[in-house]
Structure 1
Amino acid sequence: MNFFERQRQVRRLSTRLVLLFVLAVVGIVVVVNLAAVVAFNATTADPGQLAGFVAMVTVATVAAIGLAALVRTLALRGGGGKVARELGGVPVPTDTTDPELRRLRNVVEEMALASGVPVPEVYVLPEETAINAFAAGWGPSDAAVAVTWGALQRLNRDELQGVIAHEFAHVVNGDMRLNIRLMGLLFGILFLTVIGRGMARFGLISGGGRQRGNNSGGANPLALVGLALLVAGYVGVLAGRLIQASVSRQREYLADASAVQYTRQTRGIAGALKKIGGLSDGSELRSPKRDEVGHMLFGEAARASWFATHPPLAKRIQVLDPSFDPAELQRLSRQWAAAPPSGRQEDAALGLAPAAAPSRPTPGRPGHGGPGQGAPGQGAEVSPAAPALPVAGTRVRLDPADVLGRVAAPTETAYTHAAALLDQIPQPLLDRARNRQTAVPLLLGLLLSAEPQVRQHQYAALVERHGRDLADAAIHEAQALAGLHPMLVLPLAELTFPALRERPAPELESLLAAVFTLIHADGSINVSEYCLSRLLLAEIQELLRPDSRWRTDRRTLTDSRSAAAFLLATLAQVGHGEPAEAERAFQAGMGTLLPGTSWTYAPPENGVLALETAWPVLDGLRPGDKERLVAAVVAVISHDGEMTVAEIELLRTICGLLHCPLPPMAGSGIG
């Protein structure tokens, strides 16, 4: 199952989720209406009055559920970080020097680069001693990955990598958006119990006073309706939990399989599951909100029940390791009862890191101060020597079908390649990318054109609109970046993203304006510079305004063929010097996109800037149509059967704009 098939599966699950919750709400409405009719003795009313009464009760019930779900969903528009903080999560600084937290950030950064998605926020749950983790957010640009302190303490690097790979599978598969919607819908149903409890209490109190005053008998109608709402709400919550569990269990197997595909080894994720089964804390969380987020966790948040959101632990392990005997968990439990495992010590035994006593992060400031803190570099992981990157003119053969198979499907080679890319970025640049004060000038420096005349136009525009200090800092960074290998540009840009998240919204809005300034400063900006600028622009926009709509992929190729033709014509024009060769490349792309149709090659006069109106249209394509568009882009770029390093990085950037994350193309003969 490739990325586009998984996207279609998530669409089907979303539709199924809506239908199941509609059925649950219908059942609740029926129960509340019956209770209201009996409580207010409406059975004796004429049919017209009875219908009006039922309609009023139905509207009120549905409105209460819908408004509560909407309010809860809007409250989660802060992205994955909002969910992590609600569970007591503490952000891990991008420049942390704590060995335990640095190891976590390194694993997350490498997995993000290997997956082709933005580096997410990273949180640790310092009060949770169990082994667990989750990813949350509306999309990759506002995603957050959180792990418990128990996971940091007990898991070695392979196991931590397996857990993070599992969570990244949820990120790239589109599960996170579904998870947040589940939270909103469940809250809407649960809100009925709050209303019911209040009505029942008020009805009993007011009814008691009335009965003492006039000695009348009978129950207060408000109390009866409140009791019905209370019962219906709890029944609805139980139904919602069952729906939540059934949807979640199917996706956990897929995420486990994706984690194995990412890391190309089962020992990591299987080892983490064995530690959950063998340690007394298991994966059980202490947070009172654990039931609300149980469907998005790596392991069960509570003891197994009918509402288990994950498959049985032993079965998950056996799928990964068919030779596994469930009795082994009992042996491990006895062994670890006397001496619990230490991830850092296991890493040291494997030669991955020196042994060091982990420091427990202090809530509010993890990785800064406290006992056991190391200086920068202390306790750092041991990295193998990185292979040399290919020279800029290297050309490789690339099969379009192979590219489609790689979308959102990083392999062990891609993961190793991502780690090698990080190793080859000069440390001063890494430090500035991870620092919230220097990340903005560094990013703008990456976006400045290499052409002196274009750069001068960009500098003048920055001075005019954003001040000389920022413009000078950007120019200084651009000079320091001179000679940076093209395969390191996109990874370095992505590493600035976590630091940008720490900036207040007004500063991010100013950064958006600065990026727009660089894009439009001169019409001669080349396609690589434009696409990198546009990719980062899109990520910042999504961070500021996460898209929480239910469906964003409704367009078809028939509706979007003009925008697709613009993209293919632009790529053909900039990638082929001769007009005749460019037209042949364009027709090859259109033949892949819309076989059997004819389309006139007409490259836009204003070059890449013509694509500004095309991206929203193309990003809204349905998964199957988007798959054909990516294949067509590959057909245009590789019309001569080969691609340069720059063209491969351009392809990765375009795929990022289309939300089809493409890992580094290691294994293609270039790394």
Structure 2
Amino acid sequence: MNFFERQAAARRTSTRLIVLFSLAVIGIVLAVDLAMFVVFGGGAGGLALTTIVTLAIIGLGSLYRIASLRGGGESVALQFGGVPVPEGATDTKLRRLRNVVEEIAIASGVPVPKIYVLEHEAGINAFAAGYSPSDAVIAVTRGALEQLNRDELQGVIAHEFSHVLNGDMRLNIRLIGVLFGILMLGLIGRKILQHGGGRGRGAGAVLVAALVALAVGYIGLFFGRMIKAGVSRTRESLADASAVQFTRQTSGLAGALKKIAAGETGSALAQRGDAEEVSHMLFGDGVGFSGLFATHPPLLQRIQALEPSFRADDLEQLRRRWRADPPSASDETPASGAASERRSPLPIAPVLLPAAAAELSLTPPMVAEQVARPSPDDYRRADSIVASIPDDLRDLAKQRDAVIPLLLGLLLDAEPQVKAKQRTEIQARLGADTATAADRLKVERLDPLHPMLRLPLAALAFPVLRLRPRPGLDAFMDTVHAVVNTDGRVSLFEYCLGRLLEVQVRESLDPSRYARFGRRKPGNVKQEFATLLAVVAQAGHENAADAQRAYLAGMQRVLPRDHLPYAPPAAGALALDAVWEPLDALDPLAKQVMVEAITAAVSHDNRVTVAEAELLRTICSVLHCPLPPMLERS
């Protein structure tokens, strides 16, 4: 199942969730009406009032919880007492965690998420939360940092990134809000009973109503657990498979699961009340559910999917061994049982970046297959990419005061006249110092930068950019918009990178507002396709006839029965302002065809330079189809 199929499956799951929630609400309303009729009697008017009150409580409860999660992944991490991992962390385990997260983010083609540690949790666990990659948070427990070696931590983080990329994370956070409503009656009944229900003539009736609410609350709890279990189990197995595909070896992820199964701390969380609410989001079972309510497949089953020869007896041997000598993060030998193979990753050869003028070999189906599906080679390349970024630029990407000039420097045009106008726009909005710093970085550090390092540098800078206050981010977005719209001659890459920054900042500021699964079909956005493919074809071909052929190759992929003549817009890249939102609202499977169409236009002349490949990656990222770096395959 590829990225687009997983997105489509997540959308279908969202629909199924609505149906299950509706059935749960109907069941609760009927139970309340029946209980009130048996206890108090009453006619149709009384039952109608009871129904309305019950629906209002459930609806308001869900709306309240959804509103409390508007902040996205960060609000969930903070609810658990998560502590952000600073950019310049000196703790070796925190540095290792940051390095692993950064490498996997760059290999996946998404901005680096915020990283949190649940310092007071001794169990091995983790979760990803957020509405989109732009507001994603990766949180791990202190127990995971203390007990997992690098390979095992890498397997856990790769598992969580699967949820980030495939739409699971968005569904998970919505599930928290929706299910809270059907638990409201039980919470209200419990609170009333805790405070005695008051005194006076109506106290008895209040206590009876509280008991009814508490009893019905257990019905809501039953439905809530069933819904979470039904939604979560299959996706956890798929995330395990994605993590193995990404990291090229099973020993890391299997080792983490063995340490949960046989270690003393397991994966249980100390905050059991909060853990139940997010049990469907966790890497391992944080509450202790089993059977019908289990949100994860059994640990032994998950391990055996990775190591078929592993048996329950091997797990018992590990328990006995670790009682005497508990595992730690410093042990780099993969955790294994007596009957399991001691497998190690395949030898990793250093990966060199291609020459800036190199030409890559790619096909539309190959690119579509790579979207949000990083491979082991991508992880190796990400390590090489991070190492290739000059140390001083990496340091600037981690400094609050330097990150804005750095990102604006990436957007400045090579043409002096255009760049002068861009400097004026920056100075008018952010001051002369910022404009001067951006220009200096452009000339001294960014112009010589390899084209393949620009997007990763922006990805590294994004977590620091998000730390700025909202007025500062609003001013930054306004400046980015002005810079890329200064002149129609701004390069297509600079325009698209600016647009990508705008999209990511906007989504990080209002995560819940922009989270959606698209439903449009290609036939509803014909003109938008024509505009995008015409601009891409024109940018990649100096000869008008070649550009027209490239345009037609792309249109043949996406709208083979339609004839829209090649008509490159006079505004050039700026004409794309009108296409992003309609194209981003495409159905997931239609987006797969869209990616193939864009690739067909870029690669029509069988010559795809590194710069063109990076342009393709940028366009895909704007349309929420993250593409790993270095597209060539041996």
Asked whether the two chains share a fold, i.e. TM above 0.5, the reply is yes
| Residue of structure 1 aligned with 2:600, choices 627, 635, 656 | 635
Contact 1:462–1:471 (8 Å) recurs in 2: yes
Contact 2:352–2:384 (8 Å) recurs in 1: no
How far apart are 1:205 and its partner, in Å?
3.4
Q: Which SS does the other structure have where 1:122 is aligned?
A: strand
CA deviations 1:480-501 (Å, max 9, x no partner) are: 2220000000100110011112
Whether 1:346 and 2:310 are equivalent positions in the alignment is: no
Whether 1:444 and 2:408 are equivalent positions in the alignment is: yes
| Corresponding residue number in structure 1 for 2:342 | none
More deviation, 185-194/113-122: 185-194
Q: 1:168 to 1:511 in 2, by over 3 A?
A: same
CA distance in 2, matches of 1:275, 1:501: 35
| Residue of structure 2 aligned with 1:154, choices 147, 150, 154 | 147
| Corresponding residue number in structure 1 for 2:548 | 583
Aligned ranges 1:338-487 → 2 under 5 Å? 338-346=324-332, 387-479=351-443, 480-487=445-452
| Residue of structure 1 aligned with 2:106, choices 100, 105, 113 | 113
| Residue of structure 1 aligned with 2:261, choices 257, 268, 277 | 277
Whether 1:299 and 2:312 are equivalent positions in the alignment is: no
CA distance in 2, matches of 1:603, 1:416: 39
Whether 1:141 and 2:138 are equivalent positions in the alignment is: no
Whether 1:320 and 2:306 are equivalent positions in the alignment is: yes
Whether 1:76 and 2:69 are equivalent positions in the alignment is: yes
Contact 2:185–2:213 (8 Å) recurs in 1: yes
| Corresponding residue number in structure 1 for 2:339 | none
CA deviations 1:258-304 (Å, max 9, x no partner) are: 00111111111001101111211011110131111111010010224
How far apart are 1:197 and its partner, in Å?
3.6
Q: 1:543 to 1:637 in 2, by over 3 A?
A: same
Contact 2:351–2:380 (8 Å) recurs in 1: no
| Corresponding residue number in structure 2 for 1:64 | 57
- The one-letter amino acid of 2:322's match is W
Q: Which SS does the other structure have where 2:579 is aligned?
A: helix
CA distance in 1, matches of 2:196, 2:95: 57
How far apart are 1:243 and its partner, in Å?
1.3
More deviation, 58-67/16-25: 58-67
How far apart are 1:35 and its partner, in Å?
2.3
Q: Which SS does the other structure have where 1:123 is aligned?
A: strand
| Corresponding residue number in structure 1 for 2:179 | 186
How far apart are 1:254 and its partner, in Å?
0.3
Contact 1:177–1:548 (8 Å) recurs in 2: no
Contact 2:413–2:494 (8 Å) recurs in 1: yes
CA distance in 2, matches of 1:386, 1:513: 41
| Residue of structure 1 aligned with 2:460, choices 495, 498, 501 | 495
CA distance in 2, matches of 1:39, 1:203: 20
Alignment gaps of 5+ in structure 1: 212-218, 350-382
- The one-letter amino acid of 2:136's match is A
How far apart are 1:98 and its partner, in Å?
2.0
| Corresponding residue number in structure 2 for 1:600 | 565
| Corresponding residue number in structure 1 for 2:91 | 98
| Corresponding residue number in structure 2 for 1:30 | 30
| Corresponding residue number in structure 1 for 2:574 | 609
CA distance in 2, matches of 1:302, 1:237: 14
| Corresponding residue number in structure 1 for 2:201 | 210
CA distance in 2, matches of 1:240, 1:442: 47
How far apart are 1:642 and its partner, in Å?
2.8
Q: 1:550 to 1:345 in 2, by over 3 A?
A: closer
CA deviations 1:591-612 (Å, max 9, x no partner) are: 1101122111111110111111
Alignment gaps of 5+ in structure 2: 336-346
- The one-letter amino acid of 1:330's match is E
Q: 1:550 to 1:414 in 2, by over 3 A?
A: closer
Contact 2:82–2:139 (8 Å) recurs in 1: yes
Aligned ranges 1:161-180 → 2 under 5 Å? 161-180=154-173
Q: Which SS does the other structure have where 1:324 is aligned?
A: coil
| Corresponding residue number in structure 1 for 2:3 | 3
**Bigger-Rg structure (1/2):** 1
CA distance in 2, matches of 1:95, 1:88: 21
CA deviations 1:492-543 (Å, max 9, x no partner) are: 0110011112111111111111111211122210101111111111000100
Contact 1:449–1:455 (8 Å) recurs in 2: yes
Q: 1:139 to 1:54 in 2, by over 3 A?
A: same
CA distance in 1, matches of 2:427, 2:514: 38
Q: 1:417 to 1:459 in 2, by over 3 A?
A: same
CA deviations 1:303-325 (Å, max 9, x no partner) are: 24342211000000001111111
Q: 1:146 to 1:198 in 2, by over 3 A?
A: closer
Contact 2:123–2:267 (8 Å) recurs in 1: yes
CA distance in 1, matches of 2:389, 2:350: 11
CA distance in 2, matches of 1:393, 1:463: 34
Contact 1:128–1:150 (8 Å) recurs in 2: yes
- The one-letter amino acid of 1:60's match is V
| Corresponding residue number in structure 2 for 1:290 | 275
Contact 1:119–1:497 (8 Å) recurs in 2: yes
How far apart are 1:181 and its partner, in Å?
1.3
CA distance in 2, matches of 1:525, 1:55: 63
Q: Which SS does the other structure have where 2:372 is aligned?
A: coil
Q: 1:183 to 1:618 in 2, by over 3 A?
A: same
CA distance in 2, matches of 1:134, 1:621: 28
How far apart are 1:348 and its partner, in Å?
13
Contact 2:361–2:632 (8 Å) recurs in 1: no
| Residue of structure 1 aligned with 2:506, choices 532, 541, 553 | 541
Contact 2:73–2:129 (8 Å) recurs in 1: yes
- The one-letter amino acid of 1:163's match is V
Q: Which SS does the other structure have where 2:260 is aligned?
A: helix
Q: How many residues align?
A: 620
| Residue of structure 1 aligned with 2:211, choices 203, 227, 231 | 227
Q: Which SS does the other structure have where 2:198 is aligned?
A: helix
More deviation, 339-348/655-664: 339-348
More deviation, 105-114/495-504: 495-504
CA distance in 2, matches of 1:197, 1:261: 47
CA distance in 2, matches of 1:202, 1:163: 44
Contact 1:604–1:610 (8 Å) recurs in 2: yes
Q: Which SS does the other structure have where 2:71 is aligned?
A: coil
Q: 1:187 to 1:348 in 2, by over 3 A?
A: closer
| Corresponding residue number in structure 2 for 1:353 | none
| Corresponding residue number in structure 2 for 1:123 | 116
CA distance in 2, matches of 1:253, 1:137: 20
- The one-letter amino acid of 1:210's match is R
Q: 1:426 to 1:181 in 2, by over 3 A?
A: same
Q: 1:196 to 1:302 in 2, by over 3 A?
A: closer
CA distance in 1, matches of 2:207, 2:322: 53
CA distance in 1, matches of 2:234, 2:19: 17
Normalising by structure 2, what TM-score? 0.94
How far apart are 1:469 and its partner, in Å?
1.6
| Corresponding residue number in structure 1 for 2:530 | 565
How far apart are 1:177 and its partner, in Å?
1.1
Whether 1:257 and 2:241 are equivalent positions in the alignment is: yes
CA distance in 1, matches of 2:429, 2:329: 51
CA deviations 1:391-439 (Å, max 9, x no partner) are: 2221122111111111111001000000100001011110110122211
| Residue of structure 1 aligned with 2:616, choices 629, 651, 666 | 651
| Residue of structure 2 aligned with 1:241, choices 220, 225, 236 | 225
